[in-house]
Structure 1
Amino acid sequence: MEVSVLNIKGEDTGRKVALNEAVFGIEPNDHAIYLDVRRYLAAQRQGTAKAKERSEMSGSTRKLGRQKGGGGARRGDINSPVLVGGARVFGPKPRDYSFKLNKKVKALARRSALSYKVQENALVVVEDFNIEAPKTKSFIEILNNLKISDKKVLMVMPEVNKNVYLSARNLQCTKVAVASDVHTYGVLDAGVMVVTESALAKMEAVLTK
């Protein structure tokens, strides 16, 4: 499977790059994608919700009413959960929502997501480039040249490029990622994925181990 390589002016360079079938041409596994996206979203949760239980409440421990004959529950002191302002039964406690997923499942999920992008013609390969100074205007010009300025874009670079990152930072629908950090959720969340030639080689190296 071959894809044309464009330059940042949106012009065809006349060169083609062969996509690794083991990474970009597999039959997508939807369940692996589901598990990896669920893992990613779970890891984003803060898990800081907390409600006081009866033993943590500050208030009088005096029994408010008689044990019998009141016509209601034996609610005890003012901290009772059945009273307004009282404690909460089985309330939330700080916890870690993250869970482990096997490496092979995560890799399969990423390959499946990338294969979907190829099937949808939503993968654009550009030759390696750099932006001389961090300017949002320069990055927008690249998106306009590639005719993807109206889409949600994931730009994948081979390594950290400060100027490219700063140029795209103010654009709400654009994210810049390093090839080794590309994850399933990021791929699926993007409408179009723009990958440089060097980044493409690094992604294939990581996902074919």
Structure 2
Amino acid sequence: MFVARPPVEDLNSKPKRARIEIQLALSFLDEDKVGTIQPYDDVLVVTLRIGGYDVKRVLVDQDSGAKILYIDLYKGLNLNLEDLTAYDLPLLGFDGKVVVPRGQIRLPVQVGLKVVEADFIMVDAYSSYTTIMVRPWLYDLGAVSSTLHLKMTYPSRDQIKELVGSQSVTRQCLVAAIMHQPEVKSSASVERGL
């Protein structure tokens, strides 16, 4: 007859720990709106590290697919026109005008510890923003942005980090864009040939 004995414990072995997998949730709460002037209808404007430089007035636009780099920033990053690769598809600007790009360039964009390479289309046009970051970049970063909270959250190692936008810079960009609008002639002036 056989009798079952309990297993012999090895006093030198360490107890095995269960592996716990933590799922990070990218979300926003009502308290994430603290510090913003309510109500508002502002876009998300942040500061990012692009090409090794801290770049202000970066528009995070979930509705666009093309990452735009304006010529003033291009020159500010000490890049040469020879650094551009060909890109000849025309773009439609915010003002409804067709813009012909000067070319395309790949640059590193750093948010916290994460670095994502981005292909920017460089345009020689006025903008109160220095660059526009768009949906594909958010996807590459694994980020979620919220204009309601004026923040962007993204996973970094085993934590959720956030990038906070600046409501005052957003409004300064809006004022600059309005002030830059060329004068529109009234239809009466056009009819008289003025």
- Choose between structure 1 and 2: higher strand proportion: 2
The structure in which a higher percent of residues are helix is: 1
How would you bin the TM-score normalised by the shorter chain?
under 0.3
Name the larger-Rg structure. Answer: 1
TM-score (norm 2): 0.25
